[in-house]
Amino acid sequence: MDTNRHELTGSEIPKSFFQDVWSILADARQRGYAAVNFIMVEAYWKIGRRIVKEEQGGKGRAEYGAYLIKELSRNLGEEFGRGFSVANLKNFRQFYMAFPGFEKGYALRSELTWTHYRLIMRLENEKTREWYIGEAATQRWSTRKLERNINSFYYERITWINLPRARSPEKYGSYWNRNREWTRIDTN
């Protein structure tokens, strides 16, 4: 009798066989969710771009922009249901404005969700945004971890350690400005 074969009795199947099949399906499902999520992230960026282009062509931009987003929200809500509130459409516009070079190869990552991008797009400094995108994707940060790292100035603390001004602030004279970047000041 072959000792490598598992003898089946009734409806039993080898546990390792079931686990292998389960892993294949779980991996496929996860990759499917990630693909759909990134397709939606792309769609949100394109909607944001379209809103910005329409606003720029409108008369009396501020009034037209508010009207445009409100009406678009109402129409999309009727057609597609929830998810297209005025606040969300403003987020799509901000997403486009934070990453205008997306179609030119800007490094948006498919591993990140819309919630990741909503947190990152609020950072004013482009280098900071790029760093958080890279770290969140490669380190597989949850959105909670990303938010905690942003709120605790994780990037800034890491770069502070590696900057000469951190070791000698009296020589370099620097401060942290509201754009989350180091700014040189005169110490004389």
Q: What pTM does this model have?
A: 0.71
Task: Give residue 187's pLDDT.
Answer: 46
Task: Give residue 3's pLDDT.
Answer: 45
Cβ 146 vs Cβ 116: under 8 Å: yes
At 131-156, the pLDDT tens digits run 999 999 999 999 999 999 999 989 98
Q: CA 83, 141, 101: angle at the middle one, nearest 5?
A: 60
At 98-142, the pLDDT tens digits run 988 776 656 678 889 999 999 999 998 888 998 999 999 999 999
Max mean pLDDT range (1-5, 23-27, 152-156): 23-27
Q: CA 81, 84, 85: angle at the middle one, nearest 5?
A: 115
3-state secondary structure of 20: helix
Give 133: exposed, middle or buried? Use CB within 10 Å, 0-12, 13-18, 19+: buried
Cβ 117 vs Cβ 96: under 8 Å: no
Task: Give residue 11's pLDDT.
Answer: 64
pLDDT higher than 70, residue 27: yes
Banded pLDDT at 88 (limits 50, 70, 90) = very high
Q: For the CA atoms of 176, 178, 181, 187, what is the dihedral angle to 10 degrees?
A: -40
Task: Give residue 4's pLDDT.
Answer: 46
Return d(Cα 183, Cα 140) in angstroms, integer. Answer: 31
For residue 31, the one-letter residue type is R
- Note the Cα 18 to chain centre separation in Å: 35
Cβ 69 vs Cβ 84: under 8 Å: no
Task: Give residue 160's pLDDT.
Answer: 74
Return d(Cα 164, Cα 106) in angstroms, integer. Answer: 30
Task: Give residue 161's pLDDT.
Answer: 64
Q: Other CB atoms closer than 10 Å to residue 42's CB: what's the count?
A: 14
H-type alpha helices, 86-125: 86-98, 114-120
Task: Give residue 79's pLDDT.
Answer: 92
Task: Give residue 12's pLDDT.
Answer: 81
Between 13 and 5, the more confident residue is: 13
Task: Give residue 101's pLDDT.
Answer: 79
At 45-86, the pLDDT tens digits run 999 999 998 888 755 566 777 888 999 999 999 999 888 999
